[in-house]
Amino acid sequence: MADLSTTWMGLKLKSPIIAASCTLTGSVEHVSEAARCGAGAVVLKSLFEEQIMQDAARSLGGNEQRFFYAQAEDYIREYSRGDALASYLELIRASCREVPVPVIASINCVSAGEWVQFAREIEDAGADGLEINIFVMPSDPSRSSAENEQVYFDVLSAVTKAVRIPVAAKVSSYFSSLAHTARALPSTGIGSLVMFNRFFSPDIDIDTMELKPAPLFSTPEDYCHSLRWIAMLSGSVGCDLVASTGVHNSETLIKQLLAGAKAVEVASVLYLKGFEEIRTMLEGLEEYMDRQGFASLSELVGRMSMKNSLHPAAYERSQFMKHFSDIS
């Protein structure tokens, strides 16, 4: 029987499917269910930088308004009523007690502010690792790409200095030179890049002329962007790569591993099909490995990366020339 174990940032995982940070991983019951269904690790629902600062302000007795970030104010007021930090630390402790797989805490942030000190409390609560979901929207025309990208380095360096547990950076592909930045980011001490985050996006209701949220969940076709970049960066970045977005079935799981991902993170499929789907995907992987004669994941991971592919240029191709000529 094939060995499905893998390693991620020095952590040993019994399988390459990680339950991604989402509202489901905000309860111990769901975290336990993910582990029961075969998840190799679980990333808890994120705590937001703004929540940390708000609670910090409250406990200091200061004017909490000064810590508010304009864009997040309404959301934070609604979401973090009560002691968000204490509840989060309790979620970590309880999950670590209940679940026999690595429990990764998660923080969403946009700057290297005072919140970074809270990472130590996360470590003390027993988290096996920390995933930093970091995104600077490159929408301010007065800021250069270098200024925006520096934020990533500042945040990740500050966090890895603050804790001893492994740190993953969950990023988007919004970089002016993604390959260059991805190669440079491990100098901050991170153990993994998770590629890519999927964002809340606004949409327009054409009848009411109001904004509405775009579809919350990914589709099974959404994996290709991540697949291309995992394949192109695999073997040339000094940390583990994890694929995120659009992994809904065992076929996509296998593709991402072949491209070079050490593991995948899944969220949408858990909402759409339930945690049992993790088991189904692992059965599909095992059946594939037996059929192809792979005894362990180390024989499979990266087999179709750009470096190992017979047609590496195909990963770089971005125009439809051939398809335009074929399609009438």
Footprint on this chain of ligand FMN (rule: CB under 6 A): 20-23, 45-46, 106, 108, 133, 170, 197-198, 216-218, 244-247, 266-269
- Side-chain-facing half-sphere of 140: CA atoms under 13 Å: 10
Q: Using the Cα atoms of residue 252, residue 254, residue 257 and residue 259 in order, give the sign of their dihedral.
A: negative
| Shortest separation between residue 226's beta carbon and ligand FMN, angstroms | 9
| Shortest separation between residue 247's beta carbon and ligand FMN, angstroms | 6
State which residue, 22 or 39, has the beta carbon closest to ligand FMN.
Answer: 22
192 residue type, one letter: S
State which residue, 108 or 234, has the beta carbon closest to ligand FMN.
Answer: 108
* Pair 261, 301: CB distance under 8 Å: yes
CA 129 – CA 213 distance, rounded (Å) = 31
* Pair 61, 39: CB distance under 8 Å: no
CA 157 – CA 298 distance, rounded (Å) = 30
| Shortest separation between residue 43's beta carbon and ligand FMN, angstroms | 7
State which residue, 221 or 316, has the beta carbon closest to ligand FMN.
Answer: 221
| Shortest separation between residue 243's beta carbon and ligand FMN, angstroms | 9
- Side-chain-facing half-sphere of 123: CA atoms under 13 Å: 14
* Pair 74, 99: CB distance under 8 Å: no
Task: Give the tokens for residue 119.
Answer: 């990472």
Give residues with Cβ within 8 angstroms of 113, minimum separation 6. 49, 53
Task: Give the tokens for residue 215.
Answer: 């579809």
State which residue, 226 or 234, has the beta carbon closest to ligand FMN.
Answer: 226
State which residue, 15 or 244, has the beta carbon closest to ligand FMN.
Answer: 244
State which residue, 2 or 168, has the beta carbon closest to ligand FMN.
Answer: 168
| Shortest separation between residue 124's beta carbon and ligand FMN, angstroms | 22
| Shortest separation between residue 72's beta carbon and ligand FMN, angstroms | 13
| Shortest separation between residue 107's beta carbon and ligand FMN, angstroms | 9
Total Cβ atoms within 10 A of residue 240: 25
* Pair 224, 235: CB distance under 8 Å: no
CA 197 – CA 283 distance, rounded (Å) = 26
Hunting for tokens 């973090």 — which residue is that?
A: 80
State which residue, 61 or 215, has the beta carbon closest to ligand FMN.
Answer: 215
